Amino acid sequence: MLNKRVPVEIITVFQIVLIVFILTSLLYLLKHLKIKKYERRLRKHVINDYIDNQENLLSKVECLYLNFENKLAKFLLKIKIFNKYSKRYLMYINRTKRKQTPPINYVSRKIIISIAFALIIIISNVIRGINFSLLQILLSMIVGFYMIDIFSILTKDNNSKKIEDELYKAVSIMNNSFKAGKSIMQAIEVASIEVDGPLKEEFSYMLTDLKCGLDLDEVLNRFNNRVNIDEVKYMTTSLIVLNKTGGDIVEIFQTIEDNILKRKKLKQELKMLTASSKLTFKILVSMPILTVIFIYTLNPSYFNLLVTNKVGNLILACITILYFIYIYIIRKVMKVEGI
């Protein structure tokens, strides 16, 4: 496709400039988003619009991108496959953000990112004077398409850990509320005020559902399905049984509090004992990637055959699949249940 070869020195300089440009752009974008956040907070506390409304170049680019994303989302909404596929992202979006960012917008972002990944590969290969194949573009689009999924899963796991950390505090607050003679609804209301993080939001959802007239069993089941944590399942199941059969709620909830505390201490001990195995897992997973980066830094043309040749493309695809199998096996071998 391209016969002329660009000197290695020019390629290296271009790559360095490109990396610096991308990093600078990301830092500037983060700074811009932070300033916008402070501006929105300030607007709530001023009478006159003191903040300058003149949009800079980045704001205009942001508006153009958001308009394009919304138009693409409206188009995808008409297609049943994408509309059905978008519903899987409901579990990752908070109720308060669903009006601002509907689930279909996540699908449009995935498509935009996948196209951007493909363009980056094409431009990079054209500048370096290397032929690019359809398989290479397809792999880059697949990687870009699932970037949001990886980020959403990591965010959800992080929220689950925060909920686990705050759960004992919430159970202790509810137990004290029951000792003071308050009802389950009042105990949930007190807990929604006292706890922090994602659990505060979950308790607020439960309180809203109860005020809207939903049955307590349904509210607790919905809470359990949203969070999907063993301790929460134990607490909600106990409350559902207690609501149906009756009994001393203070005594039962004291047992729940004690069991959750014991489980929390056990998890902390297990984390301390398995810290070395987790470090080993991270090293084993990162070593192949670091090796590839090190070789590529020393000799950028070392992997050219893998991306310019059909057999090389097939080998690259096999290597990628084997690498993910390698991660899965190591994770299964070193995983300790209950952590």
- Contact, 234 vs 260, CB < 8 A? yes
What band does 1 get if pLDDT is binned at 50, 70 and 90?
very low
Report, as an integer, the average pLDDT of 26-44.
63
Separation CA 98–CA 101 (nearest Å)? 5
Q: Tell me what pLDDT residue 307 has.
A: 73
- Contact, 161 vs 198, CB < 8 A? no
Q: How many CA atoms lie within 13 A of 243 on its CB side?
A: 16
What band does 54 get if pLDDT is binned at 50, 70 and 90?
very low
- Contact, 182 vs 218, CB < 8 A? no
Q: Nearest-CA neighbor of 277 among 230, 335, 203, 212?
A: 335
Q: Where are the beta strands (DSSP E) in 247-321?
A: none
For the chain, which domains are there?
A: 8-45+56-145 (no CATH), 165-267 (1.20.81), 275-334 (no CATH)
Report, as an integer, the average pLDDT of 185-210.
84
- The encoded tokens of residue 67 equal 């308009």
Report, as an integer, the average pLDDT of 205-227.
84
Separation CA 185–CA 203 (nearest Å)? 10
pLDDT above 90 coverage of the chain, percent: 0
Report, as an integer, the average pLDDT of 299-311.
78
Mean pLDDT taken over the chain? 75
- Contact, 195 vs 203, CB < 8 A? yes
